Structure 1
Amino acid sequence: MYMSVKQAADLWGLSDRRVRVLCSQGKIPGTVREGRLWKIPVDAKKPTDGRYKRASSLLLQIEEKMAKLATLRPLTSGEVERLNEEFTIEYTYNSNAIEGNTLTLRETDMVLRGLTIDQKPLKDHMEAIGHREAFQYVQALVAEGRTLTEQVIKDIHYLVLSDKKDDRGVYRRVPVRIMGASNEPAQPYRIRPLMEQLLEEYTKNQENIVTKMAQFHLAFESIHPFIDGNGRTGRLLVNLELMKAGYPPIDIKFTDRLAYYRAFDAYHSKGSLAEMENLFADYLNERLDDYLTLLTVNDAEK
């Protein structure tokens, strides 16, 4: 008898992401993988493991997996297209859902295929289409090797905020507050100099990719440069830079949103990067496991 990742997460008081990571690292005996799903024995015990929680403990694994990927047969164009389509749908659903979009994963897929969902706001439809176009633009930027600039950030935001034409791609001109957050976003007159400083510091940053992107993401969201769409734009920027550096994009799940919020709280209340680093490292490690599993199975079948 088996239970799902979600059932195990609810039983053990963990996030879905954490359970998937433990499965991929072999920390839960008897776990079986079928495609992209994990089946966990119903009598499995909650793992007592702290090593994976530290981003630094995963960095070596991530680099080892990147090196292993380089030795395997590359995906065909058809395989890449299929994986990109699946990722784009799930990524669009999760990133929008974190910000309050009401479309389900299935409904997001349908909207991206040109269908209209009854009784769902037009705004939700436009957000799904806008996010897909923004991610496709990010992929084009990666192919071109474009440097991250304020204009690139504004261009991505312009596509994300498809339902607010007057606010697309422009820094906000009014103060804002984030309800329930300890951080107070920058005053409008400080946004431009803070963004220039952020990009300058990012360019000079010599940290590993996980730490570098955690620092950038936390700082970007703290500035909160736009009136709306900051979270979606910020997560797209993380993937832009990950992909430019040769890593796969990551998809922060809606089910892990509380862990994501806690990472911001830890940064603003304690100045700690650790929780965001852990989150990014776990997701990146899991994505690499997915690629390795797919390519290893494909090679074995040949």
Structure 2
Amino acid sequence: MCDYNNDFLTFLLERFKIERQKFDRSGVYAYTQRLLAYNSNKIEGSTLTEEQTASLFDHGTLPRSEDYYRAKDVEEMNGHFLMFNRMLDTLNEPLTQRLIKQFHYELKSGVFEDRANGYAIGDYKKRPNMIGMYQTIRPDEVADEMNQLLHWYKNQAEDLSVLAEFHARYESIHPFQDGNGRTGRLILFRECLIQKMIPVIIEDANRHEYLDALKAYQDGNGISRLTELFRKEQNFYFEKCRYFIA
């Protein structure tokens, strides 16, 4: 049984590599793919269920339904699967603006609606956007703000509170026209792996707690609420993964 972070992270990385190579859809790699993709897309309004997400990942098909499937939901779910694989392929690379743009490209390159709307795919936004009533960084300032964020991050200690602040600042910059939350949560998962922490997967069930914690940061109330949520989500993911540990 894995009781410590290092053992658990070693187990995860080994199983991710082996199961992906073998196209194993029954282990922790497939479980994590489905769990992260479902919850991260659901937070953004996806209509796909957990069962539909699993079918799409496992078989590349969707079960027959009396309701219509939204093309964008399917395209973005497939894009998220690809983004996760890209993340695994680049764990030995430093976190850079170029790499973050690659993640976004994997997520969004197959989304017809975004291309039809003229959104930048795999590049920073060209139009100002907002988070609810909050203004985000203007397009011409994004590259500089991201450079400052990454420089700050590289000089911080490895700690969950640092990842919480990075995530909150990233979401406040909102560098892409769309897909910011999903790329941000993937980066969070990635950096947990790199720093040998139990990964964080934000559950859609905790969506309001998550958004309230981000709002608290934007209002100048720090990142303590976000950090506590991350700890809760670490425990959730670890307990779910214990099933796969021999």
TM-score (norm 1): 0.69
Residue in structure 2 matched with residue 190 of structure 1 by the alignment: 141
Q: Given the alignment of the two structures, is residue 156 of structure 1 paired with residue 106 of structure 2, yes or no?
A: no
User: Measured at CA, do residues 68 and 177 of structure 1 come closer, stay the same or move farther in structure 2, by a change above 3 Å?
Assistant: closer
Residue in structure 2 matched with residue 115 of structure 1 by the alignment: 61
Q: Secondary structure at the match of 2:4?
A: helix
Q: Which fold has the larger relative contact order, with Cα–Cα distance below 8 Å and residues 6 or more apart in sequence?
A: 1
User: Measured at CA, do residues 293 and 138 of structure 1 come closer, stay the same or move farther in structure 2, by a change above 3 Å?
Assistant: same
Q: Secondary structure at the match of 1:129?
A: helix
Q: 1:69 deviation in Å?
A: 4.6
Q: 1:271 deviation in Å?
A: 3.0
Q: Is the 8 A contact 1:116 1:125 kept in 2?
A: no
Q: Alignment partner for residue 175 of structure 2, among 212, 222, 225?
A: 225
Q: 1:294 deviation in Å?
A: 4.9
What amino acid does structure 1 have at the position aligned with 2:107?
A: V
Alignment of 1:59-138 (within 5 A): 65-66=4-5, 69=8, 77=18, 82-112=27-57, 113-116=59-62, 119-138=68-87
Q: 1:292 deviation in Å?
A: 5.0
Q: How many residues align?
A: 227
Residue in structure 1 matched with residue 154 of structure 2 by the alignment: 203
User: Measured at CA, do residues 188 and 89 of structure 1 come closer, stay the same or move farther in structure 2, by a change above 3 Å?
Assistant: same
Residue in structure 2 matched with residue 279 of structure 1 by the alignment: 229
Structure 1: unaligned runs, 5 residues or longer: 1-63
Q: Is the 8 A contact 1:66 1:288 kept in 2?
A: no
4+ residue segments displaced more than 3 Å: 67-72, 74-81, 288-295
Distance 2:187 2:82 in 1: 14
Q: Percent identity?
A: 29
Q: 1:285 deviation in Å?
A: 3.0
User: Measured at CA, do residues 97 and 291 of structure 1 come closer, stay the same or move farther in structure 2, by a change above 3 Å?
Assistant: closer
Q: Is the 8 A contact 2:158 2:195 kept in 1?
A: no
Deviations 1:104-157 (A, max 9, x none): 111111222211455111111101100000001111112xx1100000000000
Q: Is the 8 A contact 1:98 1:254 kept in 2?
A: yes
Alignment of 1:2-41 (within 5 A): none
Q: Is the 8 A contact 1:217 1:234 kept in 2?
A: yes
Residue in structure 1 matched with residue 89 of structure 2 by the alignment: 140
Distance 2:233 2:140 in 1: 35
Q: 1:213 deviation in Å?
A: 0.8
TM-score (norm 2): 0.83
User: Measured at CA, do residues 83 and 197 of structure 1 come closer, stay the same or move farther in structure 2, by a change above 3 Å?
Assistant: same
Distance 1:256 1:220 in 2: 20
Deviations 1:142-182 (A, max 9, x none): 2xx11000000000001111313452111111111222x4x
Structure 2: unaligned runs, 5 residues or longer: none
Q: 1:193 deviation in Å?
A: 0.6
Q: Which has the larger radius of gyration?
A: 1
Q: Is the 8 A contact 2:9 2:196 kept in 1?
A: no
